[in-house]
Amino acid sequence: MLGAGYGLIERAAIALEGERIAWVGEEAELPVEFAGAERVDGQGGVVTPALIDCHTHVVHGGQRAREFEMRLEGASYEQIARAGGGIVSTVAATRDAEFDDLLARALTRVDALIAEGIAVIEVKSGYGLDLETELKMLRVARALGEDRPVRIVTTFLGAHAVPKGMQADAYIDEVCIPALEAAHAEGLVDAVDGFCEGIAFDTVQIGRVFDRARALGLPVKLHAEQLSNIGGTKLAADYGALSADHVEYATDADAHALAASGSVAVLLPGAFYTLHETRKPPIAAFRKHGVPMAVATDWNPGSSPMGSLLLAMNMACTLFALTPAEALAGTTRDAARALGLEDRGVIAPGKRADLAIWDISDPAELSYGIGINPLRTRIYGGRP
């Protein structure tokens, strides 16, 4: 059956009032009060919630094409990071970049996502690793949402890597946590993230950041179990995290913990693909325990230089065996959940009128195409 698993309504109508959805159902049952409203004809296309990219690093300086070449020559992501490349090389480029330059480059990335029908983009800091640059990144992120019709959700990722010349513990206590407090005081932080990994921070260090986030009333999320399992997913679940992201090395017990805490597993197939990973996230366990799964680009210059959420959906299906219906839920309903946004990501009365109209006849086409963008119109807050 066409559209099974999507809640698809054939010959549907959606009534909008201001920024909100007022009614949705069969066109034949449209309440008379909307009969005289201005109409946009869907022309046989498919309407979905506008897409949500719930994990990106689109604010960054420089590029790391040389590391791409090094990996093709046999070096691993971890080896490159331990040799002084990786995240800290983007830190140098981001520290050097002027605010306007960072903003201009990030705007081109945001425009590419908007062109795919995206209405919400999460943007992380984490390439500053000092107070000044972490604040600069988050201010750029906020500016993106002022310059473009898109909702930007900012995430403080001070605990992303240990900067050159510092010890991890000292960095967390003397730089990262004070930077978090300063960024929060400026209203720049919607959530707090960390990178829990052998090449970054352990659960005790991340726990200190999360304790401060909790004290400030900020939700947390975590890059967890990407390259190994060191307990990040369980830590995230213990803190009631919005999401645990990557999670290739998560176990059945981790999936159980995420389900119990109501956290979303954010799948990032672009990083899995770029780093030639072979260990896949435990999709069957997530399904079994009822863990919501989101899909995002992880757009960053190192592990996922990927500017297409539609491609991430395709990869989530092809590489991780998500169904196209799961991939679409993962870039709408469950992506909203991963950001703590209750008022969008589904087409229902009262929800925000962020919609995408596609030139397709089956919603599975969104995941099936490779490098194809069938967007016809994006509606943002009720406005085309």
Look at residue 209 and give its three-state secondary structure. Answer: helix
Decide: is 248 part of the binding site for Fe ion (CB under 5 A): no
Q: Which is nearer to Fe ion, 254 or 298 (CB)?
A: 298
Tokens, residue 150: 């898109």
With CA atoms as reference, report the closest residue to 350 among 12, 23, 95.
Answer: 23
Asked if 339 contacts 191 with a C-beta cutoff of 8 angstroms, the reply is yes
With CA atoms as reference, report the closest residue to 118 among 126, 127, 110.
Answer: 110
Q: Please count the other Cβ atoms lying within 10 Å of the Cβ belonging to residue 278.
A: 7
125 binds, among Fe ion, ligand NIG, none (CB under 5 to 8 A by kind): none
Instruction: Name the minimum Å distance from CB 195 to ligand NIG.
Output: 5
36-65 binders of ligand NIG (CB under 6 A): 57
Q: Among residues 46, 140, 271, 309, which is the contact residue for ligand NIG, using CB under 6 A? A: 271
Residue range at the interface with ligand NIG (CB under 6 A); choices 8-16, 94-102, 300-308, 338-346: 300-308
Q: Which is nearer to Fe ion, 13 or 200 (CB)?
A: 200
Q: Which helix (H) or strand (E) holds 328?
A: helix 324-330
Q: Among residues 14, 52, 87, 150, which is the contact residue for ligand NIG, using CB under 6 A? A: 87
Decide: is 298 part of the binding site for ligand NIG (CB under 6 A): yes
Residue nearest to Fe ion according to CB distances in the complex: 298
96 is in an annotated binding site: no
195 binds, among ligand NIG, Fe ion, none (CB under 5 to 8 A by kind): ligand NIG
Decide: is 193 part of the binding site for Fe ion (CB under 5 A): no
With CA atoms as reference, report the closest residue to 288 among 319, 323, 253.
Answer: 253
Asked if 353 contacts 21 with a C-beta cutoff of 8 angstroms, the reply is yes
Look at residue 312 and give its three-state secondary structure. Answer: helix
Please name the residue that has the structure tokens 């990501």. 345
223 is in an annotated binding site: yes
Instruction: Name the minimum Å distance from CB 298 to ligand NIG.
Output: 5
Decide: is 122 part of the binding site for Fe ion (CB under 5 A): no
Q: Which is nearer to ligand NIG, 266 or 375 (CB)?
A: 266
Per-residue burial over 226-240, b = 16 or more CB atoms within 10 Å of its CB, e = otherwise: bbebbbbbbbbbebe
Decide: is 53 part of the binding site for Fe ion (CB under 5 A): no
184 is in an annotated binding site: no
With CA atoms as reference, report the closest residue to 159 among 124, 185, 132.
Answer: 124
Instruction: Name the minimum Å distance from CB 96 to ligand NIG.
Output: 16
Identify any residues that bridge with 51 across adjacent strands, giving them in sequence order. 118
303 is in an annotated binding site: yes
Per-residue burial over 309-339, b = 16 or more CB atoms within 10 Å of its CB, e = otherwise: bbbbbbbbbebbebebbbbbbbbbbbbbbbb
296-325 binders of Fe ion (CB under 5 A): 298
User: 362-381 mask for Fe ion (x: CB under 5 A)?
Assistant: --------------------
Write out the residues near Fe ion by the rule CB under 5 A: 298
Binding-site sequence positions: 55, 57, 64, 127, 160, 223, 226, 298, 300, 302-303
Write out the residues near ligand NIG by the rule CB under 6 A: 57, 86-87, 90, 195, 223, 226, 271, 298, 300-304
